[in-house]
């Protein structure tokens, strides 16, 4: 009896994680003779724990066709840290039990660093318990912080959105700066790695052009140096554009955004680095600041996805099937690239044990000497990933995104 597939989306979603699902579904449909059913976890690995398996064959094929251009996690994602299977194997035994009862022979887990770790643990646990299954991690993260792979699907589109948004807002503040707002500040995601903030740097064409400051988690934040640079920039060019990672830290390693109400900045905790920096500038330099927090807007902005990114995400999903056919187990699919000058990429794979729980930060060679910008090599690396505009189709002025129904497979087990 042919084995079924279980695919699940995990962690913070991206504009193109559903493109990976689309690639997987297309490749599965072309290889139906080799596989049983394709099940997708409702809300990620929670779908396995709760025995909530979406039967993809029962979704409307017209809606499934839209997955390639739909943001969010169309089948539901999750933030669940499974308990260590050595100390408490209840959850892993449950997953194994669900896999056994639904004849799962292939597990594809689509996520970031934590999810690759989970994939590895499930692979090992199944092997230890004599259950034959192929476990493959599919990379996905806007943060671009997975090691070994050249880049992560998800990053290119968000990088493109941030670069465009910064460019557009810089034209706005430049036109207002003569008599009104002189500083614009954009907060972007990136708790530990500064790839997203760095991506704004690709629009900089000269000393005077925006962004004038990029604040990275890799560079310790110093209030005096920061304010001095803002002041000089406004004096020189009339305005100043700043892009800040949410995860910037002071020299004690404390998050600037998380500092308490009576800290050195004198502000209450509101959980955003942008308002904190904006108040700092207004109070110390007496300059009018506008600030923006991109938050989910950046992560969901499928309306301006990068073509390269969509293609990579789709290929990852497609390659899950070809790698499964080859019997590859315990690997994460990866993007390989031989050169960056004329960018060419392909799909490869790496051992999960080389990926799990490692974080790829911006290398020093990508950060400018003063710590407020990026180098040429960083610019080239990011530019390669934002090429092309992959627009979704529109209906009545609004993107026509997939609407799924999540039809579930009949349960065979008691509730967990």
Whole-angstrom distance, CA of residue 358 vs CA of residue 311? 25
Task: Provide, rounded to whole angstroms, the least separation between the CB of residue 50 and its own copies.
Answer: 9
Q: Does 109 bind its own copies (CB under 8 A)?
A: no
Q: Does 78 bind its own copies (CB under 8 A)?
A: yes
Span near its own copies by CB under 8 A; candidates 89-97, 114-122, 177-185, 190-198? 177-185
Residue 202, SS3 per DSSP: helix
- 180-199 residues in contact with its own copies (CB under 8 A) are 180, 184, 186
Binder among 33, 62, 369, 398 for its own copies (CB under 8 A): 398
In this structure, the chain runs to a length of 416
The gap from C-alpha 139 to its chain's centroid, in whole angstroms, comes to 9
Task: Provide, rounded to whole angstroms, the least separation between the CB of residue 170 and its own copies.
Answer: 8
Helix (H) or strand (E) holding 336: strand 331-337
β-strands 104-111, 134-139 pairing? parallel
Task: Provide, rounded to whole angstroms, the least separation between the CB of residue 177 and its own copies.
Answer: 8
Span near its own copies by CB under 8 A; candidates 19-27, 110-118, 328-336, 398-406? 398-406
β-strands 53-55, 38-41 pairing? antiparallel
Task: Provide, rounded to whole angstroms, the least separation between the CB of residue 279 and its own copies.
Answer: 6
Span near its own copies by CB under 8 A; candidates 118-126, 215-223, 353-361, 381-389? 381-389
Span near its own copies by CB under 8 A; candidates 9-17, 30-38, 311-319, 325-333? 9-17
**Which residue, 49 or 135, has its beta carbon nearer to its own copies?**
49
Contact 28/323 with Cβ under 8 angstroms? Answer: no
Whole-angstrom distance, CA of residue 146 vs CA of residue 118? 14
Q: Does 68 bind its own copies (CB under 8 A)?
A: no
Task: Provide, rounded to whole angstroms, the least separation between the CB of residue 304 and its own copies.
Answer: 6
Task: Provide, rounded to whole angstroms, the least separation between the CB of residue 146 and its own copies.
Answer: 20
Q: Does 247 bind its own copies (CB under 8 A)?
A: no
β-strands 394-395, 398-399 pairing? antiparallel
- 149-168 residues in contact with its own copies (CB under 8 A) are 160, 163-165, 167-168
Contact 279/267 with Cβ under 8 angstroms? Answer: yes
**Which residue, 406 or 411, has its beta carbon nearer to its own copies?**
406
Asked if 143 is an active-site residue, the reply is: yes
Q: Which of 332, 324, 413 is nearest to 105 (CA)?
A: 324
Residue 239, SS3 per DSSP: coil
Torsion angle, alpha carbons of 45, 51, 52, 55, to 10 = 100
Phi, psi at 199, each rounded to 5°: -65, -25
Query: For residue 164, how many C-alpha atoms fall within 13 Å in the half-sphere facing its CB?
Result: 17
**Which residue, 350 or 374, has its beta carbon nearer to its own copies?**
374
Q: Does 270 bind its own copies (CB under 8 A)?
A: yes
- 275-334 residues in contact with its own copies (CB under 8 A) are 275-276, 278-279, 290-297, 299-304, 306
Give the active site residue among 26, 117, 143, 349: 143
Helices (H), 129-154: none
Give CA angle at 33 (29, 36), nearest 5°: 80
Q: Does 274 bind its own copies (CB under 8 A)?
A: yes
Span near its own copies by CB under 8 A; candidates 39-47, 244-252, 315-323, 328-336? 39-47
Whole-angstrom distance, CA of residue 114 vs CA of residue 356? 7
Q: Which residues are catalytic?
A: 143
């Amino acid at each position: 009896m042919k084995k079924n597939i279980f695919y699940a989306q995990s962690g913070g979603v991206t504009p193109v994680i559903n493109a990976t699902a689309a690639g997987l579904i297309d490749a599965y449909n072309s290889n139906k003779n080799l596989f049983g059913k394709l099940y997708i976890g409702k809300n990620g690995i929670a779908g396995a724990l709760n025995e909530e398996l979406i039967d993809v064959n029962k979704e409307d094929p017209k809606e499934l066709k839209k997955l390639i251009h739909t943001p969010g996690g169309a089948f539901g994602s999750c933030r669940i840290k499974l308990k260590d299977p050595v100390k408490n194997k209840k959850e892993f035994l449950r997953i194994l039990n669900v896999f056994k009862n639904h004849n799962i022979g292939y597990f594809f887990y689509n996520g970031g660093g934590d999810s690759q770790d989970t994939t590895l643990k499930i692979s090992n646990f199944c092997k230890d318990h004599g259950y034959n299954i192929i476990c493959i991690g599919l990379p996905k993260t806007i943060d671009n912080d997975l090691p070994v792979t050249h880049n992560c699907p998800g990053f290119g589109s968000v990088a493109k959105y941030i670069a465009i948004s910064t460019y557009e807002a810089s034209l706005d503040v430049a036109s207002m700066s003569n008599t009104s707002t002189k500083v614009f500040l954009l907060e972007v995601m990136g708790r530990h790695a500064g790839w997203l903030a760095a991506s704004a740097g690709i629009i900089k064409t000269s000393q005077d052009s925006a962004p004038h400051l990029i604040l990275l988690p890799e560079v310790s934040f110093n209030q005096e140096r920061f304010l001095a640079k803002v002041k000089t920039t406004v004096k020189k060019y009339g305005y100043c554009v700043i892009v800040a990672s949410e995860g910037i830290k002071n020299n004690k390693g404390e998050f600037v955004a998380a500092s308490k109400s009576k800290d050195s900045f004198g502000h209450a905790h509101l959980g955003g680095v942008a308002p904190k920096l904006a108040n700092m500038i207004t109070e110390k330099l007496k300059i009018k600041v506008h600030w923006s927090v991109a938050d989910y807007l950046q992560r969901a902005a499928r309306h301006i996805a990068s073509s390269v990114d969509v293609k990579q995400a789709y290929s990852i999903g497609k390659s899950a099937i070809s790698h499964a056919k080859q019997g590859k187990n315990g690997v994460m699919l990866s993007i390989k690239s031989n050169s960056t000058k004329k960018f060419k990429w392909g799909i490869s794979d790496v051992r999960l044990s080389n990926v799990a729980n490692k974080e790829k930060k911006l290398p020093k060679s990508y950060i400018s000497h003063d710590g407020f910008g990026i180098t040429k090599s960083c610019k080239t690396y990011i530019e390669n990933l934002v090429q092309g505009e992959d627009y979704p189709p529109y209906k009545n002025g609004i993107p026509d995104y997939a609407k799924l129904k999540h039809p579930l497979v009949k349960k065979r087990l008691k509730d967990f």
